[in-house]
Homo-oligomer: A and B are copies of this chain.
């Protein structure tokens, strides 16, 4: 296997002014790493002919593959083609298919095409032209002096389409003949990164194909499995075998595959069991319900909910007895129980879930900031009330409470 070294050059003054982050470089790097290509440098250079040229020259001296993003648009500031021409001496021609597409776009929009739009259709001689399916400027792959140059638009949507459809298959051929790389993410809830690594320590250490990479997420933890094989099916089979070994250890925490969210998983569990859920939300203010209703088809599993931030709403709409609100206090197991029990009957759902606690910044009834009670009750009389103390600011505490609610409900439903 030949080791391929790549670098990514982004062209655009907007990046140097800090108006946007170079997320293109991150996205491309992740894909290249998954396909066994080493990315050794990222660079960003402004819309300046000489500086772009110099950056290209340096790249040509140190990398096998140079991926360039940005600077292919219609304005005078777009100088990527000109800089590469200065370096390579290659000539450019108008690409008929791209030009037709640009003309058709302006006709359809009933707008006059200014001459500078023609710039976008120019491609280098001998370039492999990559059709931009979501925008106007085509991409290009150029082989020159044993280097592969890839030119892509800077708009992330266009760059991603061209990279996935055209560039990845091309680059994959460079690095390893007939090798397919596949990856799968396993999403976990209710287990920390350290514990997950501990439970799988020997498997991770012994495993090379697929590789096993634990990753901390914004919420929860994930494991990325990446396998190489001669066919897609073989690669997927290798991943599935390892997934089964992992599930043997920590399967009870696994909730989803790839981009699946916990609310999608809970939605499927509810739908599969023909159950509905309604939430009585105090400190979480509707966030639990909002996330569930974000899932397509949510109407079949969630009739709605009540945000009972004020004690009067807890009493009036959710019938929490005054001996709880007055004597015991609303930050209590009793209140969480009453809220979960009554939201179920008020909304007519199979399951009731409740959130009551202190989001801060001040403590309530001497309960420290972060104290949260979550209650769950179902139509078979099954009940679970738990107390947590979350750390962080007001918004983190609210988010952690909702995430924990989904964890509890996920386990409640399994």
Contacts and interface: CB of A to CB of B under 8 A. Distances in A.
Interface residues of A, number: 66
Nearest to A360: B296
A119 interface: no
B18 A31 contact: yes
Nearest to A43: B43
Interface in A7-33: 15-23, 25-33
B307 A307 contact: yes
A21 B19 contact: no
Chain copies in the assembled complex = 2
Interface string A350-380: 0000000000110000000000000000000
B361 A296 contact: yes
B309 A306 contact: no
Interface stretch (A79-87, A203-211, A282-290): A282-290
B309 A299 contact: yes
Contact of A26 (B21, B43, B305, B307): B21
A289 B284 CA distance: 10
Nearest to A364: B299
A320 to B, nearest CB: 13
Given A45-B41, A309-B302, A346 B361 contact: no
Interface stretch (A240-248, A310-318, A406-414): A310-318
A55 B43 CA distance: 11
A18 B160 CA distance: 14
A33 B18 contact: yes
A18 to B, nearest CB: 3
Given A41-B43, A308-B304, A309-B304, A285 B289 contact: yes
A347 interface: yes
A22 B20 contact: no
Interface string A268-293: 00000000000001011111111011
Contacts of A310: 299, 302-304
A305 B284 CA distance: 12
B15 A348 contact: no
Contact of A39 (B17, B288, B294, B360): B17
Interface in A168-204: none
A394 interface: yes
Contacts of A312: 303, 348
Closest 5 CB pairs of A and B: A286-B286, A18-B30, A285-B293, A18-B29, A303-B310
Given A16-B41, A18-B31, 17 more contacts: A16-B29, A16-B42, A17-B29, A17-B39, A20-B26, A21-B23, A40-B46, A41-B55, A285-B293, A285-B294, A286-B289, A294-B394, A296-B394, A298-B309, A304-B313, A305-B306, A307-B307
Interface of A: 15-23, 25-33, 39-46, 51, 55, 58, 215, 281, 283-290, 292-294, 296, 298-299, 302-310, 312-313, 316-317, 346-348, 360-361, 394-395, 398
29 contacts: A16-B29, A17-B30, A17-B33, A18-B26, A19-B30, A19-B215, A20-B26, A21-B21, A21-B25, A22-B22, A40-B45, A41-B44, A42-B42, A43-B44, A58-B58, A286-B287, A286-B289, A286-B293, A286-B305, A286-B307, A289-B307, A294-B394, A299-B310, A302-B309, A303-B313, A304-B307, A304-B313, A307-B307, A317-B317
